[in-house]
Structure 1
Amino acid sequence: FDSYSQSPLEFDAASIRRAAQLADMSAGFTAPHPNFGCVIAAPSVDGDSVVVGEEYQYGEGTAPAELLAVEAAGERCRGATAYLNMEPNHCHFDQRAVTAMIQAGISRVVIGIRYPLPHLRGKAIRALRNEGVIVHVLGEDLLSKNTEESLKLCRLVNAPSLYRASFRVPFSVLKYAMTLDGKIATNSGHSSWISSKSSRTQVFELRGRSDAVIVGGNTVRHDDPRLTARHGGGHVPLRIVMSNSLNLPETANLWDAEETPTMVMTQRGARRDFQKLLASKGIEVVEFDMLNPRVVADYLYECGYLSVLWECGGVLAASAISSGVIHKVHAFVAPKIIGGRNAPTPVGELGMVEMSQALELIDVQYEQVGPDMLVTGFLEPVPDLMPRIPAPEDTYAILDAASFSPYEASIIPFYKSWDPYGAFSNFSSYPIALPDENGDSYVWPSVEHYYQ
């Protein structure tokens, strides 16, 4: 394992960055929950800290990163420090992460950011401290230039979870490729290919990190895309087509749903015969009274989606931005000029008449990808969920909001896996095994399935 000859605070910051890098390896596999990484370091003979175990949670329902790292470190956990990019999940039914660290003898835990859901935020920290474990949180207990950089990386790695918890919609990225003169296709609609092969490879990776990819009807008619993640990572995002009228071709690459699922979202009552055709091909059709990006984002939030990639044309992109559901932009700029007064642009009409109304990206990054330039930035800053001390005048409002009537029904909601008692939901991937009359174990997919 790697060892470092750094100051203790520098080592803390570097270990948290490593935990965040490990957590990022499971991007696309953990929805609706965050990504977790864990690094365990113990004192060496010469007094320096040395990494003795590291792991990440592979996907939703799999073993926690902390448990895997403890198993990798073995006996060297006793008296060691565990570095976590995020406070672990510590709910009614899953306390494995905290239990593993306590039983292994971990004496100190350094955490990048707190858990994003309010009903779980701080629970693991309190549980560890109650057992005598020293817990330090970046930005609260540890403050330095190095820890600021590590804290920023932790927020970026779990930005989808932070946006989802704060705005109650999936983290949404708008991606497009355009020429140097701002066109995404020629006057005739031809667009293959604006960007280079290197840029398209990055797009495959971006899709692989997303739970769903959204396009509009124009993209299906003009480009006939596949929207696959041909990067070999194993994760397959849902392909979504938004179309009010269902004026779509009967034959399209997206209608091949054998390997990659496709969903079509449309206005209620649109082309019933075409809906039946899609259903016969295995395409799920979802109808809305009024189809727009906001209701789609709300729907995907309720379905547990964490991250969504919008690869649509300018009209739908403008609607999504106006609806406030786009949080980040990935723009590939190719060194090409095609001109054309009627050639489409990446974003349609937003109703702006002055430059002072322009939307300015935050934390802008530039990267050369082959001959292209990739520009990324946020339209909404990454939410900061660090605890705040309320002002005296706010204290009474908080107490009033927390009051309740003894006559209220004691209802425990657990339909969604992110509810306070979500571990009991049939959407929560925590199987249980109970012995049957023959002495064998019968596995129930979830606690809810056992109840039923």
Structure 2
Amino acid sequence: MHRPYTIIVSEVTVDGKLTLRKGRSSKEIMQFMDEEANRYLHELRAKVDGIMVGAETIRTDNPFLTVRYVEGKNPTRIVPTSRADIPLNSNILEKHAPTIIVTSRSAPEEKVKALEEKVEVLRCGEDSVDLIEMMDMLYNKGIKTLMVEGGSTLNWNLIRLGLVDEVRLIHIPFIVGGEDTPTLVGGEGFYSFDEVVKLKLRAHFMRGSHLITEWEIKFED
């Protein structure tokens, strides 16, 4: 199967947190990004074919996922959600940019039909979205480069399946703490150093007052 070249892009605190608390919006932390850091984020959005977040990010943050701080095209917005559980008043369902909702074949038909009245809906996987099949479907729809601004669960599921090529981080100079506060990658986690995903630092630089680090994932031969 083919898949898009995939980059996880996220703002993270010094201790790797995405939000102030579980269930809180990441916009609370993103408001502390200066204009140059926001330009960096939106420059990336303008360069890719698609931008992906998880359904929880839609429910919590209700983002637009459009290009604003720079000139450029809006990428196709993509949301995997096994139960088609997207509020019908979500900003991504408006006509600012193309949107694809990816759901499972067992998702409730009434929810799927309601979404199909607004945006394109793809179905793959029986009880949950098959992310590998999803990536192949997206590639065949012209999504050759994909930016993921997802939460910790989506990041984990993509990384554990080997579906990510780069990680780019905008560092926010805070320490938040909290055992249950979402980090960049959540999920079950790996149990041995033979399993962990290894990265190579490709670049580090300042944009405004923020450190940016860009990492390549080292796939084993």
Question: Could you state the TM-score of these two structures normalised by the residue count of structure 1?
Answer: 0.45
Matched, 1:308 2:146: yes
Q: CA RMSD in A?
A: 2.0
CA contact (8 A) 2:101 2:120 kept: yes
CA–CA distance in structure 1, aligned partners of residues 5 and 90 of structure 2: 28
Secondary structure (helix, strand or coil) at the match of 1:174 reads strand
Matched, 1:213 2:213: no
C-alpha displacement at 1:190, in angstroms? 2.7
1:265 alignment partner, one of 84, 102, 105: 102
CA–CA distance in structure 1, aligned partners of residues 142 and 84 of structure 2: 26
* Aligned equivalent of 1:200: 38
Q: Unaligned regions of 5+ residues in structure 2, if any?
A: none
CA contact (8 A) 1:328 1:380 kept: no
Matched, 1:279 2:146: no
* Aligned equivalent of 1:342: 180
Matched, 1:293 2:134: no
Q: Which amino acid aligns with 2:81?
A: S
Q: Which amino acid aligns with 1:319?
A: N
* Aligned equivalent of 1:253: 91
* Aligned equivalent of 2:67: 229
CA contact (8 A) 1:189 1:343 kept: no
CA–CA distance in structure 1, aligned partners of residues 178 and 70 of structure 2: 38
Instruction: Work out the number of aligned pairs and report it.
Output: 214
Q: Which amino acid aligns with 1:289?
A: G
Which protein shows a greater Rg? 1
* Aligned equivalent of 1:168: 2
CA contact (8 A) 1:199 1:369 kept: yes
CA–CA distance in structure 2, aligned partners of residues 302 and 356 of structure 1: 33
CA–CA distance in structure 2, aligned partners of residues 228 and 215 of structure 1: 12
* Aligned equivalent of 1:330: 168
C-alpha displacement at 1:355, in angstroms? 4.5
CA–CA distance in structure 1, aligned partners of residues 135 and 5 of structure 2: 9
Q: Unaligned regions of 5+ residues in structure 1, if any?
A: 1-166, 384-452
CA contact (8 A) 1:172 1:310 kept: yes
Choose 206-215 or 330-339, whichever is displaced more. 330-339
CA–CA distance in structure 2, aligned partners of residues 231 and 199 of structure 1: 10
Matched, 1:368 2:210: no
Instruction: Spell out, residue by residue over 1:49-99, the C-alpha distance to the aligned partner (whole angstroms, 9 max, x if none).
Output: xxxxxxxxxxxxxxxxxxxxxxxxxxxxxxxxxxxxxxxxxxxxxxxxxxx
CA contact (8 A) 2:198 2:218 kept: no
Q: Which amino acid aligns with 2:156?
A: A
Secondary structure (helix, strand or coil) at the match of 2:134 reads helix
CA–CA distance in structure 1, aligned partners of residues 194 and 161 of structure 2: 20
CA–CA distance in structure 2, aligned partners of residues 186 and 172 of structure 1: 27
C-alpha displacement at 1:292, in angstroms? 2.9
CA–CA distance in structure 2, aligned partners of residues 350 and 361 of structure 1: 19
Q: Which amino acid aligns with 2:13?
A: T
CA–CA distance in structure 1, aligned partners of residues 29 and 125 of structure 2: 36
CA contact (8 A) 2:85 2:111 kept: no
Secondary structure (helix, strand or coil) at the match of 1:201 reads helix
Matched, 1:317 2:155: yes
C-alpha displacement at 1:231, in angstroms? 4.0
C-alpha displacement at 1:356, in angstroms? 5.6
* Aligned equivalent of 1:185: 19
Identity of aligned residues (%): 27
| RCO higher in structure (CA 8 A, sep ≥6) | 2
C-alpha displacement at 1:176, in angstroms? 1.1
- Greater helix share, structure number: 1
Secondary structure (helix, strand or coil) at the match of 1:278 reads helix
CA–CA distance in structure 2, aligned partners of residues 348 and 275 of structure 1: 28
